[in-house]
């Protein structure tokens, strides 16, 4: 993935975090369309990260399974951690 692609993916990661901050601030009073868009964004990001994880040969099978569980359970809160650790600082490109 190009450096610009990685940076754009990192910026998209901030969307769900910002959305959750707004949801807390507004006590969950959000339009249904905004929630639907956010669910779609999280689903796309989850697919991207699970696909990336499946091809990550730097991790053992057990670690890949663990990361898959963490991504599924913590999704929007864990996306930036995974992005920084394995996408932005991809050791395969060094």
Averaged pLDDT score across all residues of the chain: 91
**What beta strand segments (E) does 1-94 contain?**
none
Give the whole-angstrom CA distance, residue 56 versus residue 19.
29
In a domain, 93, yes or no: no
Q: Which pLDDT value is given to residue 40?
A: 95
pLDDT tens, residue by residue, 58-93? 889 999 999 999 999 998 899 999 999 999 987 655
pLDDT in tens, 14-25: 999 999 999 999
Report yes or no on 77 lying in a domain: yes
What domain range is 28 assigned to? 3-87
31 CB burial (10 A radius; 0-12, 13-18, 19+)? exposed
**Is residue 15 in a domain?**
yes
pLDDT tens-digit readout, 5-44: 999 999 999 999 999 999 999 888 899 999 999 999 999 9
- Residue 31 within any structural domain of the chain: yes
**Residue 25 forms part of a structural domain:** yes
Split at pLDDT 50, 70, 90, the class of 94 is: very low
pLDDT score recorded for residue 45: 96
Question: Residue 94 falls within a domain, yes or no?
Answer: no
Q: For the chain, how many structural domains are there in total?
A: 1
């Amino acid at each position: 993935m190009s450096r610009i692609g990685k940076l754009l993916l990192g910026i998209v990661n901030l969307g769900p975090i910002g959305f959750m901050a707004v949801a807390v601030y507004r006590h969950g009073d959000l339009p249904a369309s905004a929630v639907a868009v956010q669910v779609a964004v999280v689903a796309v990001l989850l697919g991207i990260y699970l696909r990336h994880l499946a091809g990550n040969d730097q991790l053992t099978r057990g670690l890949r399974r663990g990361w898959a569980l963490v991504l599924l359970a913590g999704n929007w809160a864990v996306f930036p951690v995974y992005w920084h650790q394995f996408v932005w600082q991809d050791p395969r490109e060094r």
